Structure 1
Amino acid sequence: MVWLWLQGYLDEQFIQLEDLQDDANPNFVEEVVTLFYGDSARLLHSIEQALESNPLDFNGLEAYMHQFKGSCSSIGARKVKSECTQFREYCNARNAEGCIRTFQQVKQEHATLRRKLETYFQALV
């Protein structure tokens, strides 16, 4: 996990999740991350659909991203959370191009973190 921390992908929240894991619940962190990816897939799909509407509902987009950012915070997804903040700023500025461009970054960071976490969990076995 240290290498994910050093690369800036995770923050202290992930360490707190690891601290909650014990012999009674040895897969706690992996289960939380699995729930995160299920929930985040639904939210990303909703955001993608909302970005296809015309005109854009910036308040709705901001609300979806607020929810997604909260999910990211729950597992300590630092880089994804940072992109979420940028997306919300573009929503507040009513900048459609910025929202679309930043959403691609959100999805990219989300996918990168997923790959890194999968590698992390495989290394634990």
Structure 2
Amino acid sequence: MLGFGAVRLRTDMNRLLSVLFHQGVLDEQFLQLQHLQDQSSPNFVSDVVTIYFHESEKQLRNLRNLLLDKETWDHVKLGIHLNQLMGSSSSIGAKRVRNICAVFRAAVEQNNRPACMRALEVLEHEYCYLKNKLHELFQMEQQRVLGDAVRYAGVVHQQ
């Protein structure tokens, strides 16, 4: 049976997820990712999202470097990095990040450097928000799992 702390953590996790869905930060793809997690891969979602964050930070860095290079305007490379970021964001359900990538890509196709810079700023902001909120969610999940392990160990020792 779940202890009060575990119930509260699960409630807090559900509330946070609800807010993220309501805000449009996440979409149903994130739920699909959660359904793939089971006893044999208890950290599946966190592992996939960690890889996403690692790769996304490289893409964001590349985008910023390409935009700051005043000598060249390489819309092909910008498009490649945006497509990669958009695809990986879609795969984890990062809806707002994906949508901003689409706006950014439209600015690239219009050859509009100022709009690209604004899109990059919004993209970096949304990415940081997503990262912080998912980090918060995973911390709660980790606390819940640790709490379950402690309770289980206590039950075993009482027998």
Shifted more, 46-55 versus 103-112: the winner is: 46-55
1:46 correspondence with 2:62:
yes
1:56 correspondence with 2:73:
yes
The amino acid across from 1:45 in the alignment is R
Q: For residue 83 of structure 2, what is the aligned residue in structure 1? A: 66
* 1:40-91 alpha-carbon deviations (Å, 9 max, x no partner): 1111111111112223112211111111111111111001111100000001
Identical residues among aligned pairs (%): 37
Q: TM-score, normalised by structure 1?
A: 0.96
Q: How much has 1:2 moved relative to structure 2?
A: 2.3
Work out which of the residue numbers 98, 102, 117 in structure 2 matches 1:81.
Answer: 98
Q: For residue 97 of structure 1, what is the aligned residue in structure 2? A: 114
1:10 correspondence with 2:26:
yes
Q: Which runs of 5+ in 2 are unaligned?
A: 1-16, 144-159
Shifted more, 59-68 versus 76-85: the winner is: 59-68
Q: How much has 1:123 moved relative to structure 2?
A: 1.6
Q: How much has 1:3 moved relative to structure 2?
A: 2.3
Higher Rg of the two aligned structures? 2
The one of the two structures with greater contact order (alpha-carbon pairs below 8 A, sep at least 6) is 2
Number of matched pairs:
125
1:23 correspondence with 2:39:
yes
CA distance in 2, matches of 1:63, 1:97: 19
Q: Which runs of 5+ in 1 are unaligned?
A: none
RMSD, aligned CA: 0.9
